[in-house]
Structure 1
Amino acid sequence: MSVQSSSQNHERAATSRRAFLRTSAVVTGAAALPVVAGRATAAPASTAVFAHGVASGDPLPDGVILWTRVTPTPAARPGSGLGPATGVTWEVARDDSFATVVATGTVTTAAGTDHTVKVDVAGLAANTRYTYRFRVTSGPATGAMSPVGYTRTAPAPNADVSRLRFGVVSCSNWEAGYFGAYRHLRAHRDLTAVVHLGDYFYEYESDGYTGKSGVVRATSPTNETVTLRDYRMRHAQYKTDPDLAELHRRVPWICTWDDHESANDSWKGGAENHDASEGPWATRKAASEKAYYEWMPVRPAAGPNGRHLYRRLGFGRLLELSMLDLRTYRDEQVSATSRRVDDQSRSITGAAQMGWLTEGLTSSTTRWRIVGNPVMISPVLVPPLDERNAAALTEVLGLPRQGVPYNADQWDGYTADRTRLLDAIRTNDVDNVVFITGDIHSSWACDIPVDPARYPATGTVATELVVPSVTSSNVDDILGVPEHTVGNAVPAAIMTANRHVRWNDFDAHGYAVLTVTPAAAQMDWYFVNDKTDPQTGRYYARSFRVASGSQRVQSVSQPQD
């Protein structure tokens, strides 16, 4: 049951394609109550009771999700199913000292939600910075106080906004390295939110996916995550990383999942990393979703068939951000050389999500339409083929019409859905659509062409900016070679064959900052020096800018301040 502080309309979406698990990872509690009162000096934060920190997410003009987890007794470890029901009071204030509390309430959490607390606070002012905190008010940990968190609401729908900045990250594997990217991202000023595009954690057993660099730090549990207990324990471990916890404390996050929050290469009926010995896929997927909703500061949207993670957030007249779920509804992946890549009946989004996405993009009145896209949509083909001239060859050999895709787990494996979406954008004269993408553990700046074989003559539809992994293995890690040695040969080959790919880097780890103004959207990439060093430095790598109305990426020499 989700804590709703008002009946406000959080989502303009249509219905979901299938029901999501209804038992959510939140607790029942009181509505937000406006308060203006002085507060006594709070006790120091309890690192034992609030061992997993605090977080906020999904900012609206009048509300935000607040999150924490309490450990009321030493035995009440994440995933244990132990520990008493515990009362927790939350407060939201305009100032660091909590002299002016504007909203408060009390909730009860217990083992059924893994002692997580998630509150949907409403009635706040638009585009306003707030502080928040939690305090245990009943049970054996009574009096324990959380760290103070910081968050910010979104601008009002009709607000003229001159600039917004988003940190953009994906693919953070605990065992593959330290989260220095999160620490350096925190140093950027004026971040509106952090957008996490998926693979927040990895489901593998210890040393199951680290490349030749090996295990940098051991994961918990050491087995592959399959049960609800496993998924809760893995979420909990990630929340203890100091750089991740501090970035959550400082900035609201907007997150979606990719495959590793459940299992590698997942689809609606299974996953590559799931077999019958691990039980029914539906049971495992339900466990992963329940733990995700418990442990992440997300607001799932509601439809007649239940909840769904794809959702849209508005930021004044400047932009709308559509966050996609490209795992729950997709059809099973096929071979990259199979003609089924082009099958009209196969979908990566599912029909309901595709309708929601196209309707949202074509009806939006904001300057920019940003799409949080877990897997790449730009075609990457070996090589791109002119359908008219190559039809005889591809039909005889049974190959995809536009060429063999580099990775059929991406939109390249579902070309009918991509065509439907891009045609809707093009025929409705929608401009300024920018896909921001994760998953592929590498950095890319791409034009999305009308026809990849005849680019640039036939024009472009949108653009795509892809961020690297925080730590997950890249080409150099897999081969066990120094960064930017062997891996330097890959980008040239890809860009020679796919001219709409304007830049890529296959080796470096890090993050990006997306700055959006009425005139342009610019992505700045930053790479860490050594992901295995908890104190790693970072360096500025590249920037690409999309001028309003251009539908093209352009290299620029300097990052945004």
Structure 2
Amino acid sequence: MSTLRIPRRAALLGAATLAAGSQSRLVFGQGSAPGVIAAEAARPRADWGAATGDVTADRALLWSRADRTARMVVEWSTDEGLRNATRLRGPWATEATDFTARLDLTGLPADAEIFYRVSFAGPEAGAPLSAPVLGRFRTAPAARRDVRFLWSGDTAGQGWGINEAWGGYRCYETMRRTGADFFIHCGDTIYADSPIPAEITLADGTLWRNLVTPEVAKVAETLAEFRGRHRYNLMDRNLRAFHAEVPQLWMWDDHEVTNNWSDSKVLDGRYTEKRIAQLQAMATRAFLDYAPMRPHGADEQERIYRRIGYGPHLDVFALDMRSYRGPNGPNRQEAAGPETAFLGEAQLRWLLAGLRESRATWKVIAADMPIGLQVPDGQDAAGRPMFEAVANGDGPALGREMEIAGLLSAIKAANLRNIVWVTADVHYTAAHRYDPARARYRDFAPFWEFVSGPLHAGGFGPNPPDDTFGLEVVWQKAPDGRINVSPAEGGQFFGEAVIEGRSGALTVMLKDMAGDTLWQRSFEPERG
């Protein structure tokens, strides 16, 4: 395995200074924190940084935000000083998208370090450009080389916001230092249902002090409040620096709307808006405004699930376990129907077709939540337990489990190999092996699922396993039953995977906020 590629931060700092055309030193992806330094009246500002998403061998989706109506201007080059840069006129950032803008860069060279700067030009003739935001990313390889990717989820949950005295979103800085090719955010990119207070008293009596904005002081109900949640995270310096240097593959889960939402969700007394569909509409618009995600065609503009190829060794299938599900309930139906839907028929067909077509060595399925852990969602009117995820307690495949059973059986029937699942959601980290020899439902081939999170939220777990698909907890680290454990106690986690270019071997590491490897295992690809 080749030596870890360290980000070329010193060189990038030099490029930033050159691009700024001044003696100031700009940090990659930074500028001033929103609302901290007064803006020059004549110039737009781009204080929310920039991000790239859905990067392939020849394309990258570039996202940024202005503070007013302005046109996006992008320059990119394979030269770190941005000499001989290609200059592109991007779209207008307007109030309709909360002044966010995105540009799909095409025709990029494969396996190349791409340096870029984003500026915004106001609508007035001769208006000066905003100060530039700088970033870099690497395109996917066309030939075999080592590939390193990360995954996790859950940012700013349970009231744990930006505590600058503690170091802000520290896990993002740890991940940035890995030099990863890209990052999969498995959902809960915001916590729209979790107000962030100014202070929280920790177990030792000390105070955790959050930055607070009006939009995070209550549950999000309006489009402005959902958008404000996304802007809040971009106030964190670590997160902006991470976005500028590590391409993203965003998914969503429940907290982008509200906790455990489905069509059956009954909103609590904190909400004046009681229509879950109305909340979903506002949350979807805000998520699509802020996600560095390439949109689908006109008939599928709100589609989240997609496939991203990253070289000959890797295809990532990013799922949407939220948008097509039936209502949460006891999840014990004996016959399939609309209420047992989880991925939904169209997404299932897409996933199986993509897995069959894939020629990549490894097929990574990125999921919002684990398959075999019980995730409760209260009780129904009859006092029966309700479930949020797939699992519904030990026993045969019932309810949503029938859909997953059909998927796993189809994978086995097609003799598809080297499939692994990565996920987050449960706020601890674990390595799971699913084995038909241990299972109640046995028509599938063994596979692994790796869980990691949260990035910056309360710690929970562990969750009880379900025996339907023979889940074996090979390893886990959790708060042992305590709830909403502070990030100050260190229980923030992410996963890191490396695919070796020559052999195709996959090494999976589960890591903590300090970057220490807690569990690691390597897997040789099955051939034939």
Alignment TM-score, normalising by the size of structure 2: 0.77
Kindly indicate whether the alpha-carbon contact (under 8 Å) linking 1:210 and 1:472 is maintained by their aligned counterparts in 2. no
SS of equivalent to 1:422: helix
1:258 is matched with which residue? 253
Kindly indicate whether the alpha-carbon contact (under 8 Å) linking 1:228 and 1:287 is maintained by their aligned counterparts in 2. yes
Equivalent AA in structure 1 for residue 129 of structure 2: G
Kindly report which structure 2 residues correspond to 1:91-102, keeping only aligned pairs within 5 A, or say none: 91-102=75-86
5+ residue gaps, structure 2: 1-16, 33-38, 40-44, 162-167, 377-382, 393-399, 480-490
C-alpha distance in structure 1 between counterparts of 2:266 and 2:498, whole Å:
36
Q: Is 1:118 aligned with 2:102?
A: yes
1:531 is matched with which residue? none
CA shift in 2, pair 1:323/1:467, >3 Å: same
Equivalent AA in structure 2 for residue 548 of structure 1: P
The two structures, once aligned, show a CA RMSD in angstroms of: 3.3
Q: Is 1:185 aligned with 2:164?
A: no
Kindly report which structure 2 residues correspond to 1:219-298, keeping only aligned pairs within 5 A, or say none: 219-220=212-213, 221=215, 222-267=217-262, 269=263, 271=265, 273=267, 277-298=272-293
Q: Is 1:199 aligned with 2:178?
A: no
- Note the alpha carbon deviations across 1:53-81, whole angstroms, 9 max, x for none: 11111102211011111124xxxxxxxxx
SS of equivalent to 2:88: strand
CA shift in 2, pair 1:210/1:281, >3 Å: farther
C-alpha distance in structure 2 between counterparts of 1:527 and 1:327, whole Å:
27
Kindly indicate whether the alpha-carbon contact (under 8 Å) linking 1:52 and 1:68 is maintained by their aligned counterparts in 2. yes
Q: Is 1:164 aligned with 2:147?
A: yes
User: Of 339, 357, 372, which aligns to 2:366?
Assistant: 372
C-alpha distance in structure 1 between counterparts of 2:296 and 2:268, whole Å:
27
1:465 is matched with which residue? 450
Kindly indicate whether the alpha-carbon contact (under 8 Å) linking 2:196 and 2:210 is maintained by their aligned counterparts in 1. no
Equivalent AA in structure 1 for residue 411 of structure 2: I
> Percent sequence identity over matched residues?
23
Kindly indicate whether the alpha-carbon contact (under 8 Å) linking 1:133 and 1:145 is maintained by their aligned counterparts in 2. no
Kindly report which structure 2 residues correspond to 1:58-457, keeping only aligned pairs within 5 A, or say none: 58-72=54-68, 85-139=69-123, 142-156=128-142, 159=143, 161-173=144-156, 175-176=159-160, 178-189=168-179, 191-207=180-196, 216-220=209-213, 221=215, 222-267=217-262, 269=263, 271=265, 273=267, 277-302=272-297, 304=299, 306-335=301-330, 339-340=332-333, 343=336, 345=338, 346-378=340-372, 408-413=387-392, 414-450=400-436, 452-453=438-439
C-alpha distance in structure 1 between counterparts of 2:316 and 2:201, whole Å:
34
SS of equivalent to 2:221: coil
1:82 is matched with which residue? none
Kindly indicate whether the alpha-carbon contact (under 8 Å) linking 1:469 and 1:509 is maintained by their aligned counterparts in 2. yes
User: Of 490, 514, 522, which aligns to 2:507?
Assistant: 522
SS of equivalent to 2:391: helix
2:12 is matched with which residue? none
Q: How many corresponding residue pairs? A: 449
Kindly indicate whether the alpha-carbon contact (under 8 Å) linking 2:295 and 2:301 is maintained by their aligned counterparts in 1. no
SS of equivalent to 1:176: coil
Kindly indicate whether the alpha-carbon contact (under 8 Å) linking 1:433 and 1:462 is maintained by their aligned counterparts in 2. yes
1:527 to partner: Cα distance: 1.3
- Note the alpha carbon deviations across 1:263-305, whole angstroms, 9 max, x for none: 11122x2545568841432222121111111112111333745
1:114 to partner: Cα distance: 1.0
C-alpha distance in structure 2 between counterparts of 1:104 and 1:513, whole Å:
34
CA shift in 2, pair 1:474/1:323, >3 Å: same
Kindly indicate whether the alpha-carbon contact (under 8 Å) linking 2:288 and 2:302 is maintained by their aligned counterparts in 1. no
C-alpha distance in structure 1 between counterparts of 2:499 and 2:425, whole Å:
22
